[in-house]
């Protein structure tokens, strides 16, 4: 099912177990129950302003919510494997709702202390294309008294381009409801200039693979090109995956607006975070 679009029928039809190893099959068999028992949680990773404050301190601008699942027998399961599984099993709507509720409840507490913070949440392809997605999202933010404008939804470049016409329509609905949109893993897809121009996004999140190569002359030029593209479209840029000060300095110098990565803070449970 390459082209998703309006054909939501196809979405849940490719549940074959082809290519899954023993571990994956085991995890897959546990996923529905883990969601039902609310054993999938959410951790938060800070996004910081590239420009340090006047006193030189690094200001937290917001957080990205990241789903976390610890299975008592298996151990930690990566979202990179259980999110696609939830999609294939038709469980992504429920899982998304669970993660969103937890993220919003916590974010509401932080907002009371820091009304300027924003929260980023990842949205996978079937989640985005589900007919009730925008309604579910609106119901959740309303219930937690979080203004839509404080939320940024991260959609990967390849998802935004799956069915450009439909994606555009859906993304317009999201923006009309007051949310912001970011293109995650930017640079790994093939968005054309005109497509980017049409999409109602306000941020590009530069993929970690480019951030890693910023120390080479060519890598720096590529990042420079992405930042100037973003600037000409009036989009904010985020550099993800920053693991050391040298990379942070390079990204600042090239004009990224926000920085994120282990260097500033690993994803952590809310209890370990001070805003």
Which residues of the shown chain bind ligand C2E in the complex (CB under 6 A)? 45, 66-67, 78-80, 83, 99, 122-124, 127, 154, 184-185, 240-243, 261-262, 267
Contacts of 178-181 with CB under 8 Å at 24 or more apart are 178/147, 178/148, 178/149, 179/137, 179/148, 179/149, 179/151, 179/152, 179/153, 180/118, 180/149, 180/151, 180/152, 180/153, 181/152, 181/153, 181/154, 181/155
State the greatest distance between any 2 C-alpha atoms of the chain, in Å, as a whole number. Answer: 56
Closer CB to Mg ion, residue 203 or residue 240?
240
Find the part of the chain contacting Mg ion (CB under 5 A) among 46-54, 73-81, 148-156, 229-237.
148-156
Nearest-approach distance from CB 33 to Mg ion, in angstroms: 26
Nearest-approach distance from CB 131 to ligand C2E, in angstroms: 17
- Alpha-carbon distance values, 105 to 101, 155, 246 (Å): 6, 22, 35
Evaluate whether 45 touches 69 at the Cβ level (below 8 Å). Answer: no
- Return the one option of Mg ion, ligand C2E, none that residue 182 interacts with (CB less than 5 to 8 A, by type): none
Closer CB to Mg ion, residue 98 or residue 159?
159
* Of the residues 102, 122, 127, 247, which one makes contact with Mg ion according to CB under 5 A: 122
Find the part of the chain contacting Mg ion (CB under 5 A) among 90-98, 104-112, 150-158, 242-250.
150-158
157 binds Mg ion (CB under 5 A): no
Which 165-194 positions form the footprint of Mg ion (CB under 5 A)?
184-185
Q: Which of 204, 133, 136, 120 is nearest to 171 (CA)?
A: 133
Residue ranges in contact with Mg ion by CB under 5 A: 122, 154, 184-185, 240
């Amino acid at each position: 099912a390459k082209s998703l679009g309006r054909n939501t029928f196809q979405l849940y039809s490719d549940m074959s177990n082809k290519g899954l190893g023993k571990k994956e099959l085991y995890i897959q068999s546990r996923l529905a129950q883990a969601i039902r028992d609310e054993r999938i949680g959410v951790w938060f990773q800070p996004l910081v302003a590239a420009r340090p404050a006047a006193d030189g301190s690094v200001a937290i601008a917001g957080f990205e919510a990241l789903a976390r699942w610890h299975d008592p027998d298996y151990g930690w399961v990566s979202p990179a494997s259980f999110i696609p599984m939830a999609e294939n099993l038709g469980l992504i709507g429920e899982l998304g709702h669970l993660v969103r509720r937890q993220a919003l409840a916590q974010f509401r507490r932080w907002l009371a202390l820091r009304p300027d913070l924003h929260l980023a949440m990842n949205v996978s392809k079937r989640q985005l294309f589900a007919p009730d997605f925008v309604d579910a999202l609106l119901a959740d933010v309303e219930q937690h008294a979080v203004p839509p404008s404080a939320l940024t939804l991260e959609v990967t470049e390849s998802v935004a381009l799956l069915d450009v016409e439909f994606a555009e329509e859906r993304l317009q609905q999201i923006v009309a409801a007051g949310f912001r949109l970011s293109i995650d893993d930017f640079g790994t897809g093939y968005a054309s200039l005109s497509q980017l121009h049409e999409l109602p996004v306000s941020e590009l999140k530069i993929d970690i693979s480019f951030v890693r190569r910023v120390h080479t002359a060519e890598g720096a030029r590529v990042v420079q090109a992405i930042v100037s593209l973003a600037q000409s479209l009036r989009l904010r840029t985020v550099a993800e995956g920053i693991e050391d000060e040298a990379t942070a300095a390079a990204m600042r110098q090239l004009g990224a607006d926000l920085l994120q990565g282990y260097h500033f803070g690993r994803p952590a449970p809310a209890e370990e975070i001070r805003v």
